[in-house]
Amino acid sequence: MPTESATARAQAIAWHIRLRDGQAGHGDEFADWLVLDPRHSTAYDEVALADREIEPALCNWANSQTNDHWLGLAHRWIVRWRRAGRLRAHRPPARRFL
Protein backbone atom coordinates (compact mmCIF):
# COMPACT_ATOMS: atom_id res chain seq x y z
CA MET A 1 0.00 0.00 0.00
CA PRO A 2 1.55 3.31 -1.06
CA THR A 3 2.28 5.91 1.58
CA GLU A 4 0.67 9.33 1.44
CA SER A 5 3.93 10.93 0.30
CA ALA A 6 4.27 8.36 -2.51
CA THR A 7 0.69 9.08 -3.57
CA ALA A 8 1.37 12.83 -3.48
CA ARG A 9 4.49 12.30 -5.60
CA ALA A 10 2.58 10.18 -8.15
CA GLN A 11 -0.11 12.84 -8.36
CA ALA A 12 2.55 15.55 -8.70
CA ILE A 13 4.11 13.67 -11.60
CA ALA A 14 0.70 13.40 -13.29
CA TRP A 15 0.06 17.13 -12.78
CA HIS A 16 3.51 18.05 -14.04
CA ILE A 17 3.01 16.05 -17.24
CA ARG A 18 -0.44 17.57 -17.82
CA LEU A 19 0.78 21.12 -17.29
CA ARG A 20 4.04 20.63 -19.19
CA ASP A 21 2.22 19.23 -22.21
CA GLY A 22 -0.02 22.29 -22.27
CA GLN A 23 -3.32 20.59 -21.57
CA ALA A 24 -5.61 23.57 -21.08
CA GLY A 25 -8.36 23.89 -18.51
CA HIS A 26 -6.55 22.43 -15.51
CA GLY A 27 -5.42 25.63 -13.77
CA ASP A 28 -8.20 25.76 -11.17
CA GLU A 29 -8.06 22.02 -10.51
CA PHE A 30 -4.29 22.21 -10.05
CA ALA A 31 -4.59 25.13 -7.63
CA ASP A 32 -7.25 23.24 -5.65
CA TRP A 33 -5.00 20.17 -5.51
CA LEU A 34 -2.07 22.24 -4.22
CA VAL A 35 -4.18 23.72 -1.41
CA LEU A 36 -5.49 20.33 -0.23
CA ASP A 37 -2.24 19.25 1.41
CA PRO A 38 1.13 20.98 2.02
CA ARG A 39 2.88 17.83 0.77
CA HIS A 40 1.38 18.43 -2.67
CA SER A 41 3.32 21.62 -3.31
CA THR A 42 6.53 20.06 -1.96
CA ALA A 43 6.08 16.98 -4.15
CA TYR A 44 5.30 19.10 -7.20
CA ASP A 45 8.38 21.28 -6.65
CA GLU A 46 10.58 18.19 -6.36
CA VAL A 47 9.16 16.71 -9.56
CA ALA A 48 9.56 19.98 -11.49
CA LEU A 49 13.15 20.38 -10.27
CA ALA A 50 14.02 16.79 -11.20
CA ASP A 51 12.54 17.34 -14.66
CA ARG A 52 14.57 20.51 -15.19
CA GLU A 53 17.76 18.76 -14.09
CA ILE A 54 17.29 15.65 -16.22
CA GLU A 55 16.10 17.33 -19.44
CA PRO A 56 19.55 18.54 -20.62
CA ALA A 57 21.03 15.11 -19.94
CA LEU A 58 18.24 13.43 -21.90
CA CYS A 59 18.70 15.85 -24.80
CA ASN A 60 22.44 15.17 -24.87
CA TRP A 61 21.85 11.42 -24.73
CA ALA A 62 19.23 11.56 -27.50
CA ASN A 63 21.54 13.65 -29.69
CA SER A 64 24.42 11.25 -29.18
CA GLN A 65 22.19 8.28 -30.03
CA THR A 66 20.94 10.01 -33.16
CA ASN A 67 24.44 11.02 -34.26
CA ASP A 68 25.78 7.53 -33.63
CA HIS A 69 22.90 6.08 -35.62
CA TRP A 70 23.43 8.34 -38.66
CA LEU A 71 27.21 8.01 -38.55
CA GLY A 72 26.82 4.24 -38.48
CA LEU A 73 24.49 4.33 -41.48
CA ALA A 74 26.87 6.57 -43.43
CA HIS A 75 29.81 4.30 -42.64
CA ARG A 76 27.91 1.19 -43.76
CA TRP A 77 26.87 2.95 -46.98
CA ILE A 78 30.46 3.94 -47.78
CA VAL A 79 31.76 0.44 -47.07
CA ARG A 80 29.12 -1.16 -49.31
CA TRP A 81 29.80 1.21 -52.20
CA ARG A 82 33.56 0.75 -51.91
CA ARG A 83 33.15 -3.01 -51.97
CA ALA A 84 31.00 -2.73 -55.04
CA GLY A 85 33.70 -0.59 -56.66
CA ARG A 86 31.38 2.33 -57.16
CA LEU A 87 33.08 4.69 -54.78
CA ARG A 88 36.74 5.31 -55.37
CA ALA A 89 39.10 7.11 -53.08
CA HIS A 90 39.20 10.78 -53.93
CA ARG A 91 41.66 11.26 -56.76
CA PRO A 92 41.89 14.11 -59.22
CA PRO A 93 40.71 13.17 -62.70
CA ALA A 94 43.38 11.90 -65.08
CA ARG A 95 44.63 14.44 -67.58
CA ARG A 96 43.94 13.62 -71.13
CA PHE A 97 45.93 15.04 -73.97
CA LEU A 98 44.52 15.33 -77.43
pLDDT tens-digit map of 19-48: 877 766 777 888 999 999 999 999 999 988
pLDDT at position 5: 77
* CA of residue 64 relative to chain centroid, distance: 11
Q: Give yes or no for residue 1 having a pLDDT over 80.
A: no
Q: Cβ distance 89 to 81 under 8 Å?
A: no
Mean pLDDT of 67-85: 65
Lowest pLDDT segment from 20-24, 47-51, 89-93: 89-93
- Is the four-CA dihedral 52, 57, 60, 66 of positive or negative sign? negative
- The alpha carbon dihedral of 58, 27, 46, 52 has a sign of positive
Cα three-residue angle 53-55-60, rounded to 5 degrees: 115
pLDDT value for 89: 53
Q: What is this structure's pTM?
A: 0.55
